[in-house]
Amino acid sequence: MLLDSLLALAASPWLFAIVFALAALDGLLPPVPSETVVVGAAALSASTGSPDWALLGIAAAAGAFTGDNLTYALGRAIGTTRFRWMRTARGRAAIAVAQRGLARGGASSIFIARYIPVGRVAVNLTAGATRYSRSRFLLLSLGAAVTWAAYSVAVGWFAGSLVEEHPLLGVAIGVALAIIIGVVVDRSIAVARRRRERRDQVASSSAVRNSTGMQPSVVMNTVSRERT
């Protein structure tokens, strides 16, 4: 029975080691479903009492912190062009966004990226490759890992508490909630990024006009006449 297997795993101390390992690998390999496992385990905790939700959160946070800092170290060692995915259009775009965010200070980028699989890897690799302050990265990645673990456990606990008599249904609801929230966050960040880029373009255009006292097209025509 699937339920019996899940309950046995939930009651085993090995679950915490599995959660730690998956969360650490997720910092390097985005397809690893660490968040799904944490949410599902938290849902079981709410409906059955196992595993211990506090230990689950600690294991998840420790694994996420470890994975993010391993990725940072990898970025310092190899840069941001070594692997094929880094040279794809999506990879280059993610790294470019990471560079801009880190240039502004990096705190919001590191926190937000923790909730976006590809963005997480791009930001952490870029932070290492650009020699972003190691001590600052340690503190920010710790805060991001703790908030991510707390969020994942909270989503799973909420779902599990809704249907305490049906542990499997609680797991399913928790995973679905996590996916929906993830998609909403991802889309919201993308919209905010596009709006910021448009504002930056408008500000840049205004700066050019203000510095010359005339429209860029007028400047070009004036230069052309002077050359002739």
pLDDT digits (tens, 9 = 90+) for 16-66: 999 999 999 988 887 777 888 899 889 888 888 889 999 999 999 999 999
Q: In this predicted model, which residue has the larger pLDDT, 176 or 16?
A: 16
Answer yes or no: is pLDDT of 227 > 50: no
From CA 179, how far away is CA 171, in angstroms rounded?
12
Q: What percent of the chain has pLDDT over 90?
A: 23
pLDDT value, residue 198: 74
pLDDT value, residue 219: 42
DSSP 126-155: HHHHTT--HHHHHHHHHHHHHHHHHHHHHH
Closest CA to 141 of 158, 121, 165, 160: 121
From CA 107, how far away is CA 8, in angstroms rounded?
40
Q: Are 38 and 153 in contact, with CB atoms under 8 Å apart?
A: yes
Q: Are 19 and 44 in contact, with CB atoms under 8 Å apart?
A: no
pLDDT value, residue 138: 93
Number of domains in the chain: 1
Q: Given the structure tokens 């880094």, which residue do they identify?
A: 86
What mean pLDDT, rounded, does the chain reach?
77
Q: What is the mean pLDDT of residues 97-114?
A: 76
From CA 69, how far away is CA 134, in angstroms rounded?
9
pLDDT value, residue 182: 63
Answer yes or no: is pLDDT of 225 > 60: no
Question: Which tokens is 180 given?
Answer: 């929906």
pTM over 0.85: no
What is the extent of the structural domain holding 180?
2-227
Q: In this predicted model, which residue has the larger pLDDT, 200 or 223?
A: 200
